[in-house]
A and B are shown apart, each in its own frame.
Chain A
Amino acid sequence: MNITGERYTISYDPVDQQVNFEGVLRPVNPSDLERIKDYLIDLHDKLDGTMRLSFRKMRYINSAGLRAVVGFLKYARSSGKMTIKLVGSKVLTWEGKSLSSLASLWSGIDFIVYDDKFYESQGLIEDASFIPLLRNQTRLLWQQEKEILRKHGLREGMKVADICCGCGDVALLIAREMKPSIVVGLDHSAPAIEYAVGLQREFKVKNADFKLGDATALMMDDELFDFVMCRLSIQIFSKPQEILKELYRILKPGGRLYLTGEDYDLIVGYPNENEIRTVYNKAGKYGTDMGMDLYNGRKLYSTLTGMRMAGVKVDYISADTVNSDRKVFAEMITSWRHFSAEKIGKTLKIPPMEHDNLLDGYDAHLKTIRNLLGYTTWTVVAASGEKQR
């Protein structure tokens, strides 16, 4: 059962015993407030254990809307029957203020920032130090990926969404070189979005817009975009389906969903082939321990067909030491070396010898890249499918 107002919807998800608030809850009519409070009390009386109130998609609330929530919380506290968890997002400023304040004033009410937990593994790549790596990855992939994007249906005049856009450089290249009507880039990293906005200003790009946001709770209308992309990101999350359902929702029928993913088994090189294989086997395993899937490229076809997408296309984007600048390639591997051995290694508390072995493995790969007779590849799988009409 849902209740809806002029700009809000409140629905109940029995799987998580969660009430989802969406839209803008700024009512001025007292009957709205009573209706909301009664709805919550009615649900509360039928449940046991924990009840969650999720505000992750509630862009705004006014003091009147808050009164309705407070009215319910007072009822729940006085009954003492259930634990109440208020679930918010780091993206919406009001939630960190008003919901956390309710939780701090009243015992028995918890406030959880959902995306702190969901983006736990991504937290490692949310600081500004990760941006040079993203830029180098783009330098290695873009010339090929531009053609792949065309092949997968990105056309001039389209409305494009780049979800988990990182520092926004690919979104801006698309805006400048492929002439969509608009590219909306969204990422959960505030430094990355700041960087993207700075680049946009610098390049004077008009047909792009960047937003800080949570990819599992997009504040975007259904069926808004002709082309929705999510590059090298699904692999970072332990629950990719939470992002995929949102990507699907914002895609127009007939539009295409485009995903890319890495596959560490496809990183090969010579000389030092054994050291290279060993280090990426280890790095892949540590990724898995962190909740990532660095072999996700091979699964994208199944992911898209499982979503009942039509006309699924799959291509390889292979950067190697022949078609790319060896220096840029080496800089990317140096960043990976640091990320894997220092950041992931520290988080997983790997033993010192293991840490040193990882560094040695990456160093062997760097030797191969810097050896003018050496050869290595980094292959990314690109896949897309059409949302059926």
Chain B
Amino acid sequence: MRPIQTDGPTPGLETEAGPPLMRLLLRVNDFVLDWRRYNLVSNYMAEYSSYFFEQKDRAENLISSVFYELIGHISSCANRDSRIDIQFSVREGWLLFAISATIPREELRWLKELLEEIERGDLDASYRSLLEADLSVPAVYRKMGLIMLAHDYRARLSARLDEKEGMATVHAVIRQEEIDT
């Protein structure tokens, strides 16, 4: 998939081979009302999915860590009255994460710029300069979750952003071997 898509159907993880291994559809407002749900949902997705892997405990730790950042990032900028669609699958040695929600236009643009920055830049340099920057500034620290996933977990991030509908779907794709290393 191209890093940023602005046209075509919303890509979930459903394929001809079948539905994703796991999918949750939840209200964004629930996360706003109680932030502990980030932890709860990430751990639930991870624990359920971990049984698909030989290295169950390491898989659980990775999946929860990745979902936490993705759910946290998307739900914090999504419309409160929208729903967040959380999907996970495994295909041909890759772990596939997908998160969709309705997001205000300015947030879509910001997300697009961030993903482009991750895509084109030297990740080591980007991450180092992010860590050296003033992390109390919201425009700086809001980048940290996704850049950390790209840098530390070698996640390939991409998105389908529909400005007309205000819908964003962010995908993170990680090699299964990252569980073992």
Using a CB–CB distance below 8 Å, which chain A residues touch chain B?
6-7, 24, 26, 28, 30, 59-60, 62-64, 66-67, 70-71, 74, 91-94, 96-98, 101-102, 105-106, 190, 193-194, 197, 211-213
Are B65 and A197 touching (Cβ within 8 A)? no
Using Cβ atoms and an 8 Å threshold, which residues of chain A touch B179?
93
Q: Which of B77-85, B96-104, B144-152 contacts A (4 or more CB under 8 A)?
A: B144-152
Q: Closest CB-CB distance, B171 to chain A, in whole Å?
A: 19
Contacts of B65 in A (CB 8 A): 60, 62, 93-94, 97
B125 and chain A: residue at smallest CB distance: A105
Query: Which residues of chain B are within 8 angstroms of A197 by Cβ–Cβ distance?
Result: 54, 56
Cross-chain contact A98 with B61 (CB below 8 angstroms): no
Which residues in B have their C-beta under 8 angstroms from that of A97? 62, 65, 152-153, 178
Is B131 a contact partner of A26 (Cβ separation < 8 A)?
Answer: no
Contact B152 A93 (CB under 8 A): no
A-B contact pairs, 27 of them (CB 8 A): A7-B39, A26-B39, A26-B68, A59-B61, A60-B65, A62-B65, A62-B72, A63-B148, A66-B144, A66-B148, A70-B131, A71-B135, A74-B131, A92-B58, A93-B61, A93-B62, A93-B179, A94-B61, A97-B62, A97-B65, A97-B153, A98-B148, A101-B151, A105-B131, A106-B128, A193-B56, A197-B54
Closest residue to B64 on the A side, CB-wise? A60
A-B contact count (CB 8 A): 88
Please name all residues of chain A whose beta carbon is closer than 8 Å to the beta carbon of B59 when the two chains form the complex: 93
Closest 10 CB pairs of A and B: A97-B152, A93-B61, A63-B145, A212-B57, A93-B62, A63-B144, A28-B35, A93-B58, A101-B152, A94-B65
Nearest residue, chain B, Cβ from A34: B136
A353 shortest CB reach to chain B, Å:
40
CB nearest neighbor in A for B57? A212
A211 to B51, CA, bound (A): 12
Which chain B residues have a beta carbon within 8 Å of chain A's beta carbons?
Answer: 35-36, 38-39, 54-59, 61-62, 64-65, 68-69, 72, 124, 127-128, 131-132, 135-136, 141, 144-145, 148, 151-153, 178-181
The main secondary structure of chain A at its interface with chain B is helix
**How many angstroms between the C-alpha atoms of A92 and B141 in the bound complex?**
24
A267 to chain B, nearest CB (A): 36
Partner of A62, one of B69, B127, B178, B180: B69
**Given A74-B132, A98-B152, A197-B56, do A92 and B39 touch, yes or no (CB 8 Å)?**
no
Asked if B54 contacts A194 (CB within 8 A), the reply is: yes
Give A211 to B55 CA distance when docked, in angstroms: 9
B6 to chain A, nearest CB (A): 27
Residues of B within 8 A of A26 (CB): 38-39, 68
- Take A26-B39, A70-B135 as given contacts and tell me if A211 and B148 are in contact as well, using a CB distance cutoff of 8 Å: no
**A63 vs B39: C-alpha distance when bound (angstroms):** 13
- Bound Cα distance from A6 to B40, whole angstroms: 13
